[in-house]
């Protein structure tokens, strides 16, 4: 029967060679000796995420920036539209 490594051991093994910051305080967790941040005490866990999350965030950010630029460009063009002088009154 094989003995599975604990989550904490996997985390420590992962951080042995990686430069990762604590999500709460930003402390560098390289060569961590336990499953908690030594600076703020936050309990840490190793989590696998797909690239899709990062790609979706990047697409959302680019789309938002493009929409804002288009809005500002539209506003700028509307403000540059020449103002027509008022028509003189028609009467005797």
pLDDT, tens digit, 9 for 90 and up, residues 14-42: 888 888 899 899 999 998 888 899 999 99
In a domain, 73, yes or no: yes
- Domains contained in the chain, number: 1
Q: What is the DSSP letter of 34?
A: S
Copy the structure tokens of residue 72: 């500002």
With a cut of 60, say whether residue 63 has pLDDT above it.
yes
In a domain, 23, yes or no: yes
In a domain, 86, yes or no: no
- Is the Cβ–Cβ distance between 9 and 24 less than 8 Å? no
What residue has token string 């989590």? 47
pLDDT grade for 2, boundaries at 50, 70 and 90 = very low
Q: How many other CB atoms are there within 10 angstroms of residue 82's CB atom?
A: 5
Q: Supply the pLDDT for residue 47.
A: 79
H or E segment to which residue 60 belongs: helix 51-80
Domain around 12: 7-79
Mean pLDDT of all residues in 46-61: 81
In a domain, 64, yes or no: yes
In a domain, 85, yes or no: no
3-state secondary structure of 9: helix
In a domain, 91, yes or no: no
Helices (H), strands (E): how many in the chain? 2, 0
In a domain, 88, yes or no: no
In a domain, 61, yes or no: yes
């Amino acid at each position: 029967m094989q003995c599975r490594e604990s989550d904490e051991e996997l985390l420590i093994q992962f951080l042995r060679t990686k430069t990762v910051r604590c999500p709460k305080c930003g402390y560098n967790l390289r060569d961590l000796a336990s499953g908690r941040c030594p600076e703020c005490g936050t309990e840490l866990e190793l989590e696998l995420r797909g690239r899709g999350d990062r790609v979706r965030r990047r697409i959302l950010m680019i789309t938002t920036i493009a929409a804002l630029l288009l809005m500002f460009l539209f506003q700028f063009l509307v403000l540059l539209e020449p103002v027509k002088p008022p028509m003189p009154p028609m009467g005797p």
